[in-house]
Amino acid sequence: MRTPLVMGNWKLNGTKESVEALVKGLVEPANAASSVQVAVCAPVIFLGQVEQLTAGSKLAYGAQDADIHTSGAFTGENSPVMLKEFGCTYSLVGHSERREYHNESDEVVAGKFKAIQEYGLVPVLCIGESLEQNEAGETQAVVERQLKAVVDLCGIDAFNNAVIAYEPIWAIGTGKSATAEQAQAVHAGIRQWLAAQSADVAAKVQILYGGSVKAATAKELFSQPDIDGGLVGGASLIVDEFAGIIAAA
Ligand code: PGA
């Protein structure tokens, strides 16, 4: 059985004050959810604060991106080694906002995935199609292409220690979640594609759904056989909403 994982993605949000209130509010629901893994992906500047506030709790945390390099002349970047030193368990990689606003190709994303894993973090590979691709019936082809770039570089066994987040771009931040049936169909397709290479990996890997997940919609989404939790943006900034999503898992 796969353990459900509920992960918040704060994106470019937070102040010292709001981070303190949010993390303090989430420690108890995370500790109480004995059969659910809970994590938040914070802006790197808050990671030291999150490390202190989560000490001794079950609330895990991570970054939203990491550089391919470990150190050197790469102004503005953060390396997986640094993230590890700050106690991160996870790092997102290939979020659609990185792919779109920072021109991250499938190959760059695969390189980052490799570096994140190599330095002891669990990569959370974000994949998903645009509205146009969805309407053109290209969803499965898009997610396969995004997965294949990682498998080509790292091998299928890399997914023994990674998480996949399926996030249709048209559902992110729009308030328009995929229906549970729509999401389940894509998740099943992702698992089948992985199973063709390793049944064992496919059976074990957590595949999260992301895109306008709310406490009110989480239960139906998470009750689908191939949806193993959620990657949550907007609703992860509100203690009661995120706690409701944890409870649904
Ligand atoms: P959203 O964002 O929940 O605000 O739609 C999800 C994400 O981008 O990870």
CATH of the domain at 84: 3.20.20.70
Among the listed residues 129, 167, 187, 241, the single catalytic one is 167
Sequence-separated (6 or more) residues with CB below 8 Å from residue 62: 7, 39, 40, 41, 42, 83, 88, 89, 90, 91, 92, 121, 122, 124
The DSSP element (H or E) to which 103 belongs, if any, is: none
**Better pLDDT: 177 or 194:** 194
Domain count, the chain: 1
Asked if pLDDT for residue 224 goes beyond 90, the answer is: yes
Sequence-separated (6 or more) residues with CB below 8 Å from residue 245: 6, 213, 214, 215, 218, 230, 232, 235, 236
Q: Which residues of 143-174 are buried (b: 16+ CB within 10 A; e: fewer)?
A: bbebbebbbeebebebbeebbbbbbbbbbbee
Can 95 be counted among the known catalytic residues? yes
Asked if pLDDT for residue 162 goes beyond 90, the answer is: yes
CA of 234 to the centre of ligand 1 (A): 6
**Better pLDDT: 111 or 1:** 111
Structural domain boundaries, residue 22:
5-248
- pLDDT band at residue 30, thresholds of 50, 70 and 90? very high
Q: Average model confidence (pLDDT) for the chain? A: 97
The helix/strand count (H/E) of the chain reads as 11, 8
Asked if pLDDT for residue 206 goes beyond 90, the answer is: yes
pTM of the complete model: 0.98
CA of 72 to the centre of ligand 1 (A): 32
Q: Which residues of 198-233 are buried (b: 16+ CB within 10 A; e: fewer)?
A: beebbeebbbbbbbbbbbebbebbbebebbbbbbbb
Query: What percentage of the chain carries pLDDT values higher than 70?
Result: 100
Task: Give pLDDT tens digits for 60-119.
Answer: 999 999 999 999 999 999 999 999 999 999 999 999 999 999 999 999 999 999 999 999
**Average pLDDT rounded to a whole number, residues 201-207:** 98
Cα distance between residue 128 and residue 233, in whole Å: 15
Q: Which atom of ligand 1 is nearest to the CA of 231?
A: 9
Residues framing ligand 1 (Cβ under 6 A): 9, 167, 172-173, 210-213, 231-235
Give pLDDT, residue 111. Answer: 98
Return the number of other C-beta atoms located less than 10 Å from residue 141's C-beta.
12
Sequence-separated (6 or more) residues with CB below 8 Å from residue 88: 47, 61, 62, 63, 121
Query: What percentage of the chain carries pLDDT values higher than 90?
Result: 98
Closest CA to 116 of 144, 82, 75: 82
- pLDDT band at residue 1, thresholds of 50, 70 and 90? confident
Amino acid at 163: V
Q: Which atom of ligand 1 is nearest to the CA of 172?
A: 5
Can 167 be counted among the known catalytic residues? yes
Q: Write out the E strands in 88-205.
A: 90-93, 122-127, 163-166
CA of 212 to the centre of ligand 1 (A): 6
